[in-house]
Structure 1
Amino acid sequence: MAVVGSAGLTTDDQTNAAERRAGGEFVRGVSSARSFIGSEEFPAESGRYHLYIAFNCPWCHRVALVRAVLGLEDAISMDVCFPGRTTSADERGENLWRFAPEGATGQNGRHVTFPECTADTVGGKKYIVDIYAESGLEQKSIPILYDKKSRKVVNNESAEIMRMFETVMLPYAKRPVELYPASLQEEVEEANTWLYTDINNGAYKAGFSSNQDVYETAFAAYFAALDRLNGLLEGKEFILGDAVTESDLRAFTTLWRHDPVYHNRMKLNQAFLFEYAQVWKWMGRMMALPGIESVVHEGILAHAKQGYFGRTGNGTIPIGPKGYPQCYGKARP
Structure 2
Amino acid sequence: FPPAKGRYVVYAAAGCPWAARVVTLLALKQLDTDAIRVIYVAPEISSQGWIFDAAHPDPLYGAPTLRALYDRSLQRQTGDASARHAGKVTVPVLWDTTTEQIVNNESGDIIRMLDGFEPWAGRRGLDLYPAAHRAAIDEACAYYLTHLNQAVAQAGSATSQDAYAAAVGKVHAAMDRAEATLAQSPWLLGDRFTEVDLRVYVTLIRNDPVFMTLWRVQRSIAWQYPHLLRFVRRIFQQPGVAATWRVDEVKRFFYLRDAAANPHRIVPLWNGPDLSVPVEMAPLIPEESS
Matches within 5 A, 1:143-162: 143-162=92-111
Match of 1:301 among 247, 252, 255: 247
* Segment of structure 1 superposing worse, 130-139 or 144-153: 130-139
Q: Which residue of 2 aligns with 1:208?
A: 157
Q: Does residue 57 of the first structure (1) align with residue 6 of the second (2)?
A: no
Matches within 5 A, 1:174-323: 174-176=122-124, 177-296=126-245, 300-313=246-259, 314-323=263-272
SS in 1 for 2:116: coil
Deviation of the 1:266 alpha carbon: 0.9
Q: Give the Cα–Cα distance (whole angstroms) in 1 for the partners of residues 210 and 42 of structure 2.
A: 18
Count of aligned positions: 263
* Segment of structure 1 superposing worse, 148-157 or 138-147: 138-147
Question: Is contact 1:256–1:324 with CA below 8 Å preserved after alignment?
Answer: no
SS in 1 for 2:102: strand
Q: Aligned-pair RMSD on alpha carbons?
A: 2.0
* Segment of structure 1 superposing worse, 181-190 or 71-80: 181-190
Q: Give the Cα–Cα distance (whole angstroms) in 2 for the partners of residues 184 and 315 of structure 1.
A: 47
Cα shift readout 1:84-132 (whole Å, capped 9, x = no counterpart): 111xxxxxxx151001133xxxxxxxxxxxxxxx311222211011111
Q: Give the Cα–Cα distance (whole angstroms) in 1 for the partners of residues 223 and 118 of structure 2.
A: 34
Q: Does residue 173 of the first structure (1) align with residue 121 of the second (2)?
A: yes
Question: Against the structure 1 CA distance between its residues 326 and 185, is the aligned structure 2 distance closer, same or farther, given a 3 Å change threshold?
Answer: closer
Q: Does residue 120 of the first structure (1) align with residue 58 of the second (2)?
A: yes
Aligned-partner residue type, residue 210 of structure 2 = V
Deviation of the 1:178 alpha carbon: 2.5
Point out the structure with the larger helix share.
2
SS in 2 for 1:50: strand
Q: Give the Cα–Cα distance (whole angstroms) in 2 for the partners of residues 316 and 80 of structure 1.
A: 22
Q: Which residue of 2 aligns with 1:3?
A: none
Question: Is contact 2:233–2:275 with CA below 8 Å preserved after alignment?
Answer: no
> TM-score scaled to structure 2, two decimals?
0.85
Question: Is contact 1:209–1:215 with CA below 8 Å preserved after alignment?
Answer: yes
Cα shift readout 1:236-290 (whole Å, capped 9, x = no counterpart): 1111112322211111111001111100111101444431232122122222222
Name the % identity: 30
Question: Is contact 2:140–2:196 with CA below 8 Å preserved after alignment?
Answer: yes
